A = this chain, B = another copy of it.
Amino acid sequence: MKGLDLNITIVGLGLIGGSYALALKELQPKKLYAVDKDEEAIKVGEEMGIIDKGFISPEIPLKESDLIIICIYPKDIKDFVKNNIDNFKLGSVITDVTGIKREFAEEINAGLRKDIDFVFGHPMAGREFTGVKYASKEIFKGANYIITPTERNKEESIKLIEDIAIGLGCKNVEKVTVEKHDEIIGFTSQLPHVIAVSLVNSDNLGVDVGKFTGDSYRDLTRIARINTKLWTELFMGNRENLINQIEEFEKNITDVKTALINKDMKSLSEILSKASKKREEMS
């Protein structure tokens, strides 16, 4: 996929927006713009040469753009779309990268212009750092990408986002409902973050724990370096699914504890074997 015959605007030039810019550049869009209220981010983006031009104010780039990729905080997206509803080009396609979809998609769709097609997307990619200076096109390589089509989406718009995801280097694009997306993501993304945070907070050893860790503790806690504002929003926006997933996890960890308390080697061994097999079979 080369020579993408579109003008594209990225809204929010942070780690994810910047990474999109870097990866999209290889697909050679007509023009690649960015909008960010932070002048510094625009300056860095322009200096890094990852966008053609950056804007503080969205009017001009939106009016020219066929595709808009919104990479700002979930709560800000609704305001952004609402405040700019008259600025979007006729027939433009919008997509996002938000980690929760159900309530969010409903609210967005309710206020959209008929000619605009918002295809909700979620690249399963990120880093434990924030800011455009950490942007890297590598974050998409081999990643999973989820699209949650809604009834108002055109086939061709979904196809466009799908093709771009593959063009960025993603290995797989899955299409599921917004409800299923939020249920799955509660498990595969949010629960791991809850676990990492809880593990770090459990440390009451009183030693420099970094001198007693192997890869396991490091791997499990890397994502505890968390963007508090973003993840508080994501967790709260998917709280019912996440509470269910936490409870399911609690049951499983209690099973291990019970086996230990009862000195029940057989059960413990079965629990370990089951997990090992399941993890081995994961694609």
Residues of A within 8 A of B (CB): 124-126, 143-144, 146, 172, 174, 176, 180, 183-185, 187-189, 191-205, 207-217, 219-226, 228-229, 231-232, 235-236, 239, 242-243, 245-257, 260-261, 263, 265, 268-269, 271-276, 278-280, 282-283
- B126, B212, B231, B247: the one contacting A272 at CB < 8 Å is B231
Majority DSSP secondary structure for residues of A touching B: helix
**Min CB–CB distance A169 → chain B (angstroms):** 14
Interface centre among A187, A210, A242 (most CB of B within 10 A): A187
Evaluate contact between A183 and B205: CB separation under 8 angstroms. Answer: yes
* Copies of this protein chain in the complex: 2
- Is the CB–CB distance between B225 and A212 below 8 Å? no
The residues of B that contact A254 with a CB separation of less than 8 Å are 250
Q: Kindly provide the distance from the CB of A15 to the nearest chain B CB, expressed in whole angstroms.
A: 14
The docked-state distance in angstroms from the alpha carbon of A177 to that of B237 is 46
What is the CB-to-nearest-CB distance from A199 to chain B, in angstroms, rounded to a whole number?
6
In the bound complex, CA of A138 to CA of B59 (Å): 54
In the bound assembly, the distance between CA atoms of A172 and B228 in angstroms comes to 32
Interface contact B211-A236, CB-CB below 8 Å: no
| Contact in complex: A187, B216 (CB < 8 Å) | no
Contact A209 B188 (CB under 8 A): yes
A260 & B243 in contact (Cβ 8 Å cutoff): yes
Min Cβ gap A226→B in Å is 5
Q: Tell whether, in the assembled complex, residue B242 and residue A260 are in contact, meaning their CB atoms are under 8 Å apart.
A: yes
A200-B279, A214-B189 as given contacts; A220 in contact with B208, CB under 8 Å: no
Whether the Cβ atoms of B246 and A257 lie closer than 8 Å is yes
CB distance from A26 to the nearest CB of B (A): 22
A211 touching B252, Cβ below 8 Å: no
Knowing A185-B212, A214-B189, A217-B192 touch, does A201 contact B235 (C-beta < 8 A)? Answer: no
